[in-house]
Structure 1
Amino acid sequence: MTRRKRRRWGILPAESKDSLGAANRDAGVESPGAAASLIQDDSAPLAPEPKVFKELLVNYEPHESRLAILEAGQLVEFYIEHDDEDQSAGNIYKGKVENVLPGMRAAFVNLGLEKNGFLYVDDAHAEERDHKKSRPIQDVLKVGQDIVVQIVKESIGSKGARVTTNISLPGRYLVLTPYSETVGVSRRIESERERERLRSIAEKIRPKGMGLIVRTVAESASQKALIRDLTYLRRMWTRIKHKARVVRSPALLHREASLIARTIRDHLDESVDRFVIDDEQAYYRAKEIAETISPTLKGRIELDNGVVPLFELRGVEAELDRAVKRRVWLKCGGYLVIDETEALTVIDVNTGKNVGSIDLSDTVLATNKEAAIEIARQLRLRDISGIVIVDFIDMENEADQTDVLKTFQRALRHDRTRVTVLGLTRLGLLEMTRKKVRESLLNQLTRVCPQCEGRGHVLSEEVIARRLRQRIIERLKESGVEALLLEANPAVASHLIGPGGTNLKELERNTGRAVYVRGNDECAMEDIHFIKVGTREEVERLGIPVHEGQVLDVVVQERHASNAKDGIARLEGYVLDIEDAGDRIGEVVHVEVIRALRTFSTARIIPDKENGSDQHGGHEVNQDVKRDTVPLTDEKSYSHMLPPAGPDV
């Protein structure tokens, strides 16, 4: 469906009341006061959403563990941990300052890792944050100075990990901040009475000179439980300080908890219905940790030892495959296009197949609302962070615009990562940011394409064929031989041959040599393999693997591209056009070669005689043809290698 002409969504001036920001803050989502907002009413806070069935699934493989979080059977978050990773967010190091960069107001810290940590001046001395103007970095840090830092953002791409001196140690109910005296309560705890109770307890038990943050899971927790958690964190900090005094920099002082321990600490709460682990040793370890951290929830941990792998059984593997694709289909028939770049992520909403049977504006509204919910899920699942721009389908009705943004806001409530909604640009694009902690799922599960080097585009077959043609000419000039047999990707090979063999004839005319071209699926688009150089007779024996009158048993692989009545088989990349075999795809047929050319041969089906004999006194079963046959599910086609009507080649 064609996109509608863009109109500006109605926006409030910057000085208008930011009721969206207030609602977002209630939902645990930040929105700056200066951001433009569509929501102008003072409606009540969003009602709690109905309880959904929530599961934690942990898969253990050699040297790797994975966590999948499912809500109502749908994958919403995914984490992966490798045994050899040392740069997990939360690790604490004793580092050594290697470079101080006044112009960048930052320093590089040697952590003993492959890349140095990057320390901003505002992260180098937490006590300066309350001042309007922080001190210059050169007054805070010196080259060669030892410093205790914590990773807050993992190394991504060419950038080293971002670190801070403002250490924080998370427990089950509390986060201990040894270098800050601030007391805070999670914004996700909405009851003011409960917030005040927890704040009062935190102020009472807070160690002198330190700060505490009360986590969401602490809601309704007793003072005794908070004190027990704080005692554990203080012991941890004592061990870290002692190790920092006795070891030489750079050194790891504290490793963030393992995936299984983090899962229990950060995710296992009353909202979780099942916690399934597919490894027996990890299962018993989880039981032990839960006994200490959350004994009342220990019974929800289960062991899965089924024959079918856990992630495959629950559809996680299939969902991960979809999570790295650009296009995300919506149930209504619309779709999202998600493009992650170095600078930002752009999400485009399209109506797609959803033409609707109602008013156009209602169709657009329904698509946008479904898209808003799916975008919130994709942000969590793909761990997309940094700047995010969302291009919803244009809406003229301001009430519809408000409805979509409220739907989006409600869906973002499930996101544990800090999200800041900035409002709408003058072009009607929704701006937002999501805190960056680690690489996105796309970067964790994929690598840059070696062919296009991450551009998302490769050279066309015509351009590649033109370049390879020059390589062929150079090779023929160097060797001085009569003939050459080469293999190329089928799509490129068809362009080397040309319609009716015209390109191949032109190449032979320019070089005075015979050239035989064969398609090979295993060849990369830009590769060419020289199989044989020699006399014309030697090369022809390899280049034309059949002869007129030869009888073969072959498998029909596909229809002819331009003549649907015919079928196609192949022998080591050499094309066999079988007359009237278009309806026999996948069948083994008994054929006779009636014409053998350099780029393809033509064959006809002959009836089998009793005991496998025929008018030629028997037939030959060509095992090479069967062995080289493409499976029926293979989407690659060799039909285009057959020259259309024209001179024989």
Structure 2
Amino acid sequence: METHTYTIVVENTKEFEKWTVLIDDNVQTFYLKPKDATDHIGDILLGQVTNMVKGLQGVFIELGSPQKGFIHQKDLLYDVKMNPLQQGNIQKGQKMIVQVEKEAVRSKGPRLTQHIQIRGEHLIYLPYSHYIAVSHQLSIDQGEKLKSFLQDQCHAPEGVIIRTSAANIEKSDLICELETLKQRWIELTKTIDMDRLGAIHKKENQLLQDIISEHHISGIINLYTDHPQKISEAILPKVTIISRGKVGLEQRRIIDRAYATAINRKLVLHSGAVCIFDYTEALTIIDINSAGVSPKRNWEETAYAINLEAATEIVNQIKLRQIGGMILIDFIRLTNEDHKKKLLQYVKSCFQNDFMTTKVLGYSNLGLMELTRKKKRYGIQDAVIEKKH
């Protein structure tokens, strides 16, 4: 079995807590956590319905804090054939257990869900969600076998999400993990005080857990930090944290070089072409400018070669910068249909080992390549957009 060296470097800057993830001394991505960030995603709370807004298709929830949360009707527990807001399933003053799905942003309260998730290393237990889901990174055959097996271990209304790493785990170990997650949920429900709104369960070391989960890290992590970290070993199964001081000189150079490139709007390629990254709230636009290139052969071949070079760097930067949501890439225009197909396939192949779910959709009517990528918080993209406000 292939082994890797995992390194996480945590540093404090004036604005951020900067986390760098390296695997075998290659920088995978950066997380820029604002100093004033509230880390509540995954928290489980007791809330109370204050008002229902049919126009917004959801309800506002009092959480015992100044900001109310919002829960869309698709995230409410109800019979799938019924609309809970129209059928009277939800009443003002009703109390419900909810989980934070999205952080509060400025004056906007947190986004909530009733579909509680209890996360494990290979499985995510769903106490009330009635379904079995499988990671998109598993083959259809692997997914169906695991789905069939775990279906027998769940009883309505339970469900489970099967993570990619589950494919390499013994069935007995999966059963053991699922039972542990079920027990964790039972213990949580015993602590609920129906007279007290607010947190039932607050997650610790959430960003570290997310990093370990997203990058499928197991074994030993070398954690370099310029300030003490409180790490709870109990919540990090099969991972050993070795806390160290300052990172070595060579790794320092590797990190600084990657970071300097990742925060720059423009990226100059070896060919002389330039990739320009522009972020908006709605989408990210990446443009390839070939003004500085002198073609050595016919322009179609030159454009195709530049596009392949740009694709490699763009995919790497999307991962480093944590770019998510809708992405449009304006490659240099190609007239050869075979070149266009090969470029599309090449971009898809570059994303095969992406730690986030990415879909390369094809070309738009205007010739732009369209992608969607699962959005995560604390990326460089988020930091740039936040600065605009």
The question of 1:316 aligning with 2:316 is answered no
User: Distance in 1 between the 2:363 and 2:10 partners?
Assistant: 41
More strand by share: 2
Whether contact under 8 Å (2:43, 2:203) holds in the other structure is yes
Whether contact under 8 Å (2:32, 2:380) holds in the other structure is no
User: Distance in 1 between the 2:39 and 2:65 partners?
Assistant: 8
Which one of the candidate residues 165, 187, 204 is aligned to 1:239? 187
Alignment correspondent of 1:255: 202
Whether contact under 8 Å (1:66, 1:81) holds in the other structure is yes
Which one of the candidate residues 282, 297, 305 is aligned to 2:245? 305
User: Distance in 1 between the 2:99 and 2:249 partners?
Assistant: 36
Whether contact under 8 Å (2:322, 2:380) holds in the other structure is yes
Task: Give the 5 Å matches for 1:254-333.
Answer: 254-258=201-205, 259-269=207-217, 275-279=221-225, 285=231, 288-289=233-234, 293-294=237-238, 298=240, 302-306=242-246, 313-333=252-272
Alignment correspondent of 2:120: 171
Kindly provide the amino acid, as one letter, of the partner of residue 154 in structure 1.
E
Tell me the alpha carbon deviations over residues 391-427 of structure 1, each in whole angstroms, 9 at most, x when there is no partner.
1111011111111111111222233333344332211
Whether contact under 8 Å (1:75, 1:316) holds in the other structure is yes
Task: Give the 5 Å matches for 1:105-504.
Answer: 105-113=57-65, 115-125=67-77, 127-128=79-80, 131=81, 134-136=83-85, 139-156=88-105, 158-190=107-139, 192=141, 194-246=142-194, 248-249=196-197, 251-258=198-205, 259-269=207-217, 275-279=221-225, 285=231, 288-289=233-234, 293-294=237-238, 298=240, 302-306=242-246, 313-438=252-377, 440-444=379-383, 448=387
Tell me the alpha carbon deviations over residues 140-161 of structure 1, each in whole angstroms, 9 at most, x when there is no partner.
4333322222222223455433
User: Distance in 1 between the 2:246 and 2:323 partners?
Assistant: 33
User: Distance in 1 between the 2:367 and 2:166 partners?
Assistant: 40
Unaligned runs of 5+ residues in structure 2 are: none
User: Distance in 2 between the 1:246 and 1:177 partners?
Assistant: 22
Counterpart of 1:205 in 2: which secondary structure?
A: coil
Output the TM-score relative to the length of structure 1.
0.53
Tell me the alpha carbon deviations over residues 327-360 of structure 1, each in whole angstroms, 9 at most, x when there is no partner.
1222332221111112322111222433342332
Tell me the alpha carbon deviations over residues 488-510 of structure 1, each in whole angstroms, 9 at most, x when there is no partner.
xxxxxxxxxxxxxxxxxxxxxxx
User: Distance in 2 between the 1:113 and 1:381 partners?
Assistant: 35
Tell me the alpha carbon deviations over residues 525-573 of structure 1, each in whole angstroms, 9 at most, x when there is no partner.
xxxxxxxxxxxxxxxxxxxxxxxxxxxxxxxxxxxxxxxxxxxxxxxxx
Whether contact under 8 Å (2:32, 2:378) holds in the other structure is no
Instruction: Give the 3 Å change call, closer, same or farther, for CA 196–377 of structure 1 in structure 2.
Output: same
Whether contact under 8 Å (2:42, 2:99) holds in the other structure is yes
- 1:114 Cα deviation after fit: 5.3
Alignment correspondent of 1:79: 31
Tell me the alpha carbon deviations over residues 3-55 of structure 1, each in whole angstroms, 9 at most, x when there is no partner.
xxxxxxxxxxxxxxxxxxxxxxxxxxxxxxxxxxxxxxxxxxxxxxxx89664
Instruction: Give the 3 Å change call, closer, same or farther, for CA 260–335 of structure 1 in structure 2.
Output: same
Higher relative contact order (CA 8 A, sep 6+): 2
- 1:126 Cα deviation after fit: 5.5
User: Distance in 1 between the 2:99 and 2:85 partners?
Assistant: 21
User: Distance in 2 between the 1:83 and 1:310 partners?
Assistant: 27
Instruction: Give the 3 Å change call, closer, same or farther, for CA 279–402 of structure 1 in structure 2.
Output: same
Kindly provide the amino acid, as one letter, of the partner of residue 436 in structure 1.
K
- 1:123 Cα deviation after fit: 1.2
Instruction: Give the 3 Å change call, closer, same or farther, for CA 54–390 of structure 1 in structure 2.
Output: farther
User: Distance in 1 between the 2:249 and 2:155 partners?
Assistant: 47
User: Distance in 1 between the 2:109 and 2:369 partners?
Assistant: 30
Counterpart of 1:212 in 2: which secondary structure?
A: strand
- 1:184 Cα deviation after fit: 2.6
Consecutive aligned runs of 4 or more in structure 1 exceeding 6 Å deviation: 51-54, 280-284
- 1:102 Cα deviation after fit: 0.9
User: Distance in 2 between the 1:358 and 1:101 partners?
Assistant: 62
Instruction: Give the 3 Å change call, closer, same or farther, for CA 94–279 of structure 1 in structure 2.
Output: same
The question of 1:59 aligning with 2:10 is answered yes
Whether contact under 8 Å (1:283, 1:302) holds in the other structure is no
Kindly provide the amino acid, as one letter, of the partner of residue 243 in structure 1.
T
Kindly provide the amino acid, as one letter, of the partner of residue 49 in structure 2.
V
- 1:180 Cα deviation after fit: 1.6
Instruction: Give the 3 Å change call, closer, same or farther, for CA 77–126 of structure 1 in structure 2.
Output: farther
Whether contact under 8 Å (1:276, 1:304) holds in the other structure is yes
Unaligned runs of 5+ residues in structure 1 are: 1-50, 455-649
Instruction: Give the 3 Å change call, closer, same or farther, for CA 344–195 of structure 1 in structure 2.
Output: closer
Kindly provide the amino acid, as one letter, of the partner of residue 181 in structure 2.
L
RMSD of Structure 2 on Structure 1 (CA): 3.5
The percentage of aligned residue pairs carrying the same residue is 27
Instruction: Give the 3 Å change call, closer, same or farther, for CA 264–343 of structure 1 in structure 2.
Output: closer
Kindly provide the amino acid, as one letter, of the partner of residue 278 in structure 1.
Y
Task: Give the 5 Å matches for 1:26-65.
Answer: 55-59=6-10, 61=12
Tell me the alpha carbon deviations over residues 445-498 of structure 1, each in whole angstroms, 9 at most, x when there is no partner.
68536xxxx6xxxxxxxxxxxxxxxxxxxxxxxxxxxxxxxxxxxxxxxxxxxx
Counterpart of 2:387 in 1: which secondary structure?
A: coil
User: Distance in 2 between the 1:309 and 1:117 partners?
Assistant: 46
Instruction: Give the 3 Å change call, closer, same or farther, for CA 427–115 of structure 1 in structure 2.
Output: same
- 1:163 Cα deviation after fit: 1.6
User: Distance in 2 between the 1:284 and 1:150 partners?
Assistant: 24
- 1:262 Cα deviation after fit: 3.9
Counterpart of 1:349 in 2: which secondary structure?
A: strand
- 1:81 Cα deviation after fit: 4.7
Whether contact under 8 Å (1:339, 1:347) holds in the other structure is yes
Counterpart of 1:381 in 2: which secondary structure?
A: helix
User: Distance in 2 between the 1:303 and 1:87 partners?
Assistant: 22
Kindly provide the amino acid, as one letter, of the partner of residue 118 in structure 1.
F
Instruction: Give the 3 Å change call, closer, same or farther, for CA 205–178 of structure 1 in structure 2.
Output: same
